[in-house]
Amino acid sequence: MSRAPIDAIKIFGGRSSDALAKKIAAHLGMTLGHGKVTAFPDGEILVKVDEDVRGRDCYVVQATHQPVNDSLIELLIWIDCLKRASAERITAVIPYYGYARQDRKDTGRVPITAKLVANLVTAAGADRVLAMDLHAAQIQGFFDIPVDHLNATPVILTYFRQLQKQYGDIVMASPDVGNAKMAAGFAEMLGCDLAIIDKRRKSGTEVKSTSIIGDVKDRAVFMVDDMISTAGTVCEAAKLLKAAGCREIVVAATHGVLVGPAVERLTGPMIDRVAITDTIPDLGRLGPLAGKLDILSVAPLIGDAIRNIHDNKSVSSLLSPHMGKR
């Protein structure tokens, strides 16, 4: 049974995702909700919604990227503000979920911060969460409220298929063993071969790729991951692939975190094209990548998911037949 008409939806954009929120609203044929965020001299944040949201189905779009803690606190304040303004339902739309990599105790006396963040979002008053490409799928289970987990497979697959016509004979490569399932799914959907690279991590910022399983000689190689952080993994893999005789290398990822030496590494000659989605805005970081960078928008996908949530329809249907491939 459908809810109220779509004009009962109100979409608000936090400061970290204002541009993406505007594109989502435009896709749905509506304007962004009116609200403003003010920072006091001591750093405290005030959120004020400048229109009536009583009884409305509200969505606040706020990625928790750098500065991660400021972005997270702003999301919580948005949720609390809408709750106190008597919104009927509040959905936290989190295009990029900060702290997702702290999803388990891999050594003694460390926190599981991904769970803590889930607790904070729930405690703030969110009724459900719409997230894009969580680093670990089990994070959905950290929430005590419904979670709709999107992935960027449809967007990246369309991009790869367009390039496939240009590059001809391609191989889908996994930059490490942990990524093999994702790469295998893309290889199946693209109808191409699969190669797997053996990666050994030396530290949090340094990796070493040692061998390739599969034939890449005189072929174009596509690689995909959920995020590019320091770019150490993909650049080490690219060196090994080029040494093995591949023609071109195209790397795509949902989240362009791109911290530390990432941009400098990606501007090098080993990688020919880079594609990221707009879950994290440019923020002036990406200028050196001009000419080899493609930005893919997930706004239509998120917009369709919001429409389906509002109408009590399936969100996973938007990913079929891609569901299960990530």
Segment-wise mean pLDDT, segments of 10 residues, the chain, 326 residues: 72 98 98 96 97 97 97 98 98 98 94 98 98 94 98 96 94 90 95 88 60 94 96 93 96 97 96 98 91 97 98 90 48
CATH of domain 153-296: 3.40.50.2020
Q: What is the pLDDT of residue 210?
A: 75
Q: What is the pLDDT of residue 7?
A: 76
Report the candidate in 213, 263, 262, 272 with the shortest Cα–Cα distance to residue 238: 272
User: Coil, helix or strand for 40?
Assistant: coil
> How many helices, marked H, and strands, marked E, lie in the chain?
8, 14
d(CA 37, CA 46): 6
Contact 97, 135 (CB under 8 A): yes
Report the candidate in 219, 227, 160, 231 with the shortest Cα–Cα distance to residue 195: 219
Note if 199 is an active site residue: yes
One DSSP character per residue, 112-152 reads -HHHHHHHHHHHHT-SEEEEE--SSGGGGGG-SS-EEEE-S
Beta bridge partners of 194: 172
Omega before 288 within 30 of 0, i.e. cis: no
Q: Reduced to 3 DSSP states, what percent helix, strand and coil does the chain have, rounded to the nearest 5?
A: 35, 25, 40
Where are the extended beta strands (E) located within 202-319?
207-213, 220-228, 249-256, 273-277, 293-296
Residue written as token pair 């050196």: 288
Q: What is the pLDDT of residue 198?
A: 83
Omega before 5 within 30 of 0, i.e. cis: no
Taking the complete model, does pTM exceed 0.85, yes or no? yes
Beta bridge partners of 227: 255
CATH of domain 6-151+299-318: 3.40.50.2020
User: Coil, helix or strand for 100?
Assistant: coil
Q: What is the pLDDT of residue 207?
A: 57
The ranges assigned to domains in the chain are: 6-151+299-318, 153-296
Q: Which one of the listed residues 10, 23, 199, 242 is annotated catalytic?
A: 199
Domains 6-151+299-318 and 153-296 share a fold: yes
